[in-house]
Chain A
Amino acid sequence: MSMTRRDLFKLAGVGALTASIPSVGFSAAERVKKAEAILPPSKGSRVVVCGGGWAGLTVAKYLKKENPNIDVVLIEKRPNFFSCPISNEWLAGLVSLDFISHDYNQPASKYGYRFINAVVVGIERDKRRVYTNHGYIEYDYLVLAPGIKYNYDAWFKGDKNMAYYTKVNYPAAFIPGSEHLALKRKVWEFEEGDFVITVPPGAYRCPPASYERAAMIAYVFKKNNVKGRVIILDPKEDIAPKGPGFRAAYEQLYLGIVEYVPKAQIKEVDPVNKVIKTTAGDFKFADANLVPPHQAGELVWMADLIAKDKDGKPTGWADQDPLTFQAKADPRVFLVGDVIGGVPYPKSGHMGNSQGKIVAKIIASRIAGKDIKPTLPDNTCYSMVNGEPQEAIVINVTYDYNDKEKKIVPKPKVINERSESLAKATYEWAKSMYKDMFA
C-alpha cells in the first residue's frame, strides 16, 4: 500500500511544526511599543551591519580600519561562523570542522566593532532603526548582508508543509549550519541507489557549488564502495562555470558514478514519493540534496529594497546601484554580498569579501564628507574535484567598467585542468580569506 502525503504528515505530525519555517511573525510597528534601544545613541556616526557572513564581516572590519571612530555594530543571528566555501571539502572528510568554523568574538574584539548575536525582526528606514529580538538599534548607515533565502514556493506554491518536509528531509545546505551537518550524515550513511542533486535555476549562491558537491559525494561513494550514483539535475544547457574541468572529473574519475543531466527544468518535486519530474524526464531517488531556487535574504524584503521587473514583479534580488552598492530607494542603506541583483557578479564568499571592502571605503568616505570613485570587485573560486589525491580547478574573474555602454564586463580566467597544486592553493586561498575576516 503506498502512503499518501496526507498520511505521511499525520504520522510525522508535521502540521504542528510549520512554524519553524523562518518568518517574521510580527511587524516592526507592533514591536516598537515594547522594544527599547539596545545601545545608547552614538557620539559619532553609527553603521549597523546586518549579517555576519563573508560580506558583512568584511564591511565591519574594514569600516573600523578606514576610520576607528565609526561606531560599527554587526548583528548576526548565528552564534558562530560556518563557512560555506570549503564545506564540500569538509563534506568529503578532507578538512575538519575547525577549519571552516570561526568565532565572532575575535574580530569584534580585535577591530573594535560591536557584535550582537540577535535576530533582526524589523527595519524602519524612515526612523533609521533596526529592530531585533533584544530591542532596537538606530543607525546613520545600514548595511544589509543577509545572504540568501530559499524559495520553496517556486516548487510548492505556498504549501508550507511540503516545504518543511523537503527542508528537513532533503536539506539544500546552501545556508550555513545544521543543513550541512545533515547532508554530511546522509552522504556517509548512503548505501545504494540514486542520490539526486538539483541545481537551482537563475541566479544562485556559489554557481560551481553543486558540481563540486557532486564530485565530492562521488568521491565518498567511490571510497566507501557504495553502489550508488550521483545524478545532477541542471536546468542549464551545460555545466558552468568550469564546465570542462568538472566534466573531465566526472568522466575520468567518476565514470558510472556521476550522471549529469542538462536542460532538466523542474516541473514537480514530490519529496514524499521521492520523485522529481523535469523537462529531461522523471527521476526517482533514494536520497537527495534538493536545492530550491534562491532569493535575496529576508532582510532585503523586510526593508522593501527588492528590485522589480518591467511588469512590476519582484526579481527576488536587491535593487542597488551597480557600482556603489547603495540602495536605489535609500541613500542610507547599502546592499552587499549574495543579495545583490542586476550585475554580472557571482554570489560567492570571495565576491562578498571583495564587495565588503569597497562598501566600507564608500561609507567611510561618505561619513568623512568625501566622495570616492568606487573600484570593482573580483572573484576567485577554487573547486575540489578529487579527494585522493586532492585535485582542484579554478576560475578567477576581474571586471572592467565600459563607460560608453555603462556596463560591467567580466574578464574570466579558468584552469580546467585539475591538479594537486590547485588543491593546495584552494586551502591557501581559504586560510588567507579567514585570516582577512577573523584574525
Chain B
Amino acid sequence: MDRRDFIKTCGAIAVASFLDTKFFSEALASQEGFLKLYSKAILLKEDGTPLTEKDIAPHREYIFFYPFASTPCYLINLGDEVKGAQLKLNDGQTYLWKGGVGSKKSIVAYSAICSHQWSYPTKDYAFINYYPPDKPSETTKKAGVIQCCAHLTVFDPKAGGKVIEGPAEVPLASILLEEEGGKLYAVGVLGKDQFDAFFENYKTDLRKEYGSTAKAKELVDKCVVMEVGKYVKEIIRC
C-alpha cells in the first residue's frame, strides 16, 4: 500500500471521532512513523483519584507530565467538539490527528514543549500557553490558540496543533488520549515530538530539577493533572 492509498483507506476512519489505537499504531507508525505508543498512563487529580471529564473546566489550561517524568503536556477542554484533522508538514508528509475525546469530543492534549526552540513550562515560568476565547493574545490578537511568547509561534489546538503563524516549522506534538469507563488515559504521542532536543538542550536544568537525567527520562504510568497556575509561579502571556 503506498502512502496515498493508506491515507485514503485510513482517512475516513481516522478523522472519525474515535480510532482504535492498535490499528492507528500499527498502520500509521509503519507507514508514517509519526505515532509513538508509550505506557498507558491514567490521568489523576491532585488527590490521587482518577480525573474525569467533569473535572476539566472548559478553556482552562491543565498540565501533566507524559510520557516521561519531565516532559510537560497541556490538557484543554475546548468546550465544543473538536474534529479530527490531517496535518501536513513542510516536506509534504502528512499524518492524521483524531480530534477531541470525551462526551463532547472537546478534550485535547498537547506536548507543552514548543516545536520551534523548545520553550516549555518550568516551575518558575510558562511562556507557552493556551489563550482562551475571552483572553486573546495582546501581540497576535488571536484567541483559542496555544502561543509561545519566546518567538511568537501560534498553534491551533482545534486542528492537531497546526502552526497558524510564527517561526515553528512543525505542529505541536499531540498526546493521544483514551477514555475508558469515565477515566482518561494518555497512551502515546503523535507528530514530531521534540523530546530528544528537549533532553539535550535542558540537560543541566533537568538534572537540577530531577536529580539526574535518568530520573527526568523515566516513563510514567500515571499523570497528576493540575491547573498550570498551580504548578508554575508565573504564566507569561504576550
**A residues at B contact (CB < 8 Å):** 350, 354, 375, 378, 380, 394, 396, 398, 413-415, 417, 421-422, 424-425, 428-429, 432-433, 435-436, 439
Contacts and interface: CB of A to CB of B under 8 A. Distances in A.
B150 A428 contact: yes
B139 A413 contact: yes
Contacts of A422: 238
A429 B201 contact: no
30 contacts: A375-B90, A378-B151, A378-B167, A396-B152, A398-B165, A398-B166, A413-B141, A413-B152, A414-B139, A415-B138, A421-B236, A421-B238, A422-B238, A424-B127, A425-B150, A425-B238, A428-B119, A428-B125, A429-B150, A429-B151, A432-B116, A432-B117, A432-B118, A432-B150, A432-B151, A435-B117, A435-B118, A436-B117, A439-B200, A439-B201
Contacts of A375: 90
Interface string B86-118: 000010000000000000000000000010111
B69 interface: no
Contacts of B125: 424, 428
B37 interface: no
Given A375-B90, A413-B152, A421-B236, 18 more contacts: A354-B167, A394-B139, A394-B238, A413-B140, A415-B238, A417-B138, A424-B127, A424-B234, A424-B236, A428-B149, A429-B150, A432-B116, A432-B118, A432-B151, A435-B117, A435-B201, A436-B117, A439-B201
B36 interface: no
Interface of B: 90, 114, 116-119, 125, 127, 138-141, 149-152, 165-167, 200-201, 234, 236-238
Contacts of B167: 354, 378, 380
Contact of A396 (B117, B127, B139, B200): B139
Nearest to A375: B90
The 6 closest A-B pairs by CB, nearest first: A432-B117, A425-B149, A396-B152, A428-B150, A421-B236, A435-B201
Contacts of B149: 421, 425, 428
A371 to B, nearest CB: 14
Nearest to B236: A421
A14 B165 CA distance: 54
Contacts of B237: 421
A65 to B, nearest CB: 11
Contacts of A436: 117
Contacts of B116: 432
Contact of A433 (B117, B200, B234, B238): B117
Contacts of B117: 432-433, 435-436
Most buried by B among A375, A413, A414, A432: A432
A362 B114 CA distance: 25
Most buried by A among B119, B127, B167: B167
Contact of B119 (A394, A413, A432): A432
